Structure 1
Amino acid sequence: MRVCEFSIIFLVLAASIAALARAQEVDDEREFSYDESSGIGPSRWGEIHHEWKACNSGQMQSPIDLRNKRVQIVSHLGKLKRSYKPANATLINRGHDMMLRWTNYAGHININGTKFHLRQCHWHSPSEHTLDGRKFDMEVHMVHESDAGRTAVIGIMYKIGRHDTFISTLKPGFQALSEVKDIEIAIGIVDPYLIKFGSRKYYRYIGSLTVPPCTPNIIWSIVRKVRTVTKEQVNLIREAVHDNLEVNARPIQATNGRSVEIYRPNYPKN
């Protein structure tokens, strides 16, 4: 990634509204909390705004526990076909997480013949999804949107270990945001391919956004391989948020009989 000199961009209301319409998620996350004792924690999200009622009443919510004994092994899904390209991006403190937004076209993935264009990525710690009940140290969500407005998210989980190269390239941006609040900073060209999958295997299910308004009918693809990140990198991202919380992960939601598939190629090695 080529990082240009950091510049501070003060967001205007119109830009915020436009971004919200594109991403479907709440850009300013200060209206809700991950702390149940706050009165606006996860169990109360659906009561805060009428438009958020799916957070409490939705039957196909995310995240979920991915249990290998209950998933269906398939090959018809095919590999995740990425066609990304380096593009200008900004880092944004949304109140409870850090979001990287590509401001120019950053490419797409292809799902069932439909192109889903990469819009942004953001981080949760600990992980929101779990594997056989096990929670990991962090999870990144790569959010894509089709021309018809449907959302597809790729999730990658991380455990503490060796450093992650992509996060290392963003360190100056996170450090800049840790010193100030309520701003968006331009960080130059960011290559989405630096977010490594490390495996062709992935879980697929239909769920929701994991933050209000908890929009349903989201296509989730969770990479099977758990990658590594250092504890310092996890702390770097959390400290840049300024929310005084150690976690920003929604609790596990009921599967409610949903089908969960795992894609495995038709050859022995991955």
Structure 2
Amino acid sequence: MEIKVIPVALADIEPLRSIFLHESNFQFIYNKCHLYDWADTYLCQVNGQKAGYAAIWGQSRREDRDAVFEFYMLPPFRALANLMFPELQTVSGATFIECQSNDTLLAAMLYEYGHSIQAEAILFEEHYTTHLHLPGVVFRRKLVTEPNIYNAGGYILELDGEEVADGGLMLNYNLPYADIYMNVKEGFRQKGLGSLMVQELKKEAYLMGRVPAARCNIKNQASKATLQKAGLKPCGFILKGALH
């Protein structure tokens, strides 16, 4: 049996990525690495057949190519993952892994071949619809003079005519997901404004034909509580580790 990993263009592995994203059925935060040409891609072959693919980017510097962030094997070849992954390390020279814990195959490779593993962020997915309301608070979007296809920003909360929070939706993740971001001004925090903003941004995401999602630093308890109050729930973690 011949196991082989070869560098290829993104277009060569796009059909395999489509299967990976369909099978995964979650927001894949590293999708932007391909959009912005931050990654190198590899085709995995078994006896000359397309068996899977991998992608590498720079853990600390985008110009480096030292961290595996995608590794996918088609179901008929998945049992060979433990033969393919070491070959990927050899060919690519990767010394790190970054992955989502809900990406079960790459997470398994992280725990088998990695060390010094740490969780960096919590991932959130939609759970239920909330009906939060704060008297006197208005949600609206400012006039957008220069639309950005990857960033739907300019949403604000106003209290008595004063802007007290802002936020938006990042659209550079895999379809149909949109990633919520927001900020509440100092002096107005811990009043429920953050959760109200997230609730309203969830609605905006659906109106765009997107599914809302979010993430926060694993140590940010305030953001975690805000997202959960707005009807999101933890669905995974961003994990990082070094390779043996």
For normalisation by structure 1, the TM-score amounts to: 0.29
Q: As a proportion of its length, which structure holds more helix?
A: 2
With CA pairs under 8 Å and 6+ residues apart, which has the higher RCO, 1 or 2? 1
Q: As a proportion of its length, which structure holds more strand?
A: 2
Rg comparison, structure with higher value: 2
For normalisation by structure 2, the TM-score amounts to: 0.32
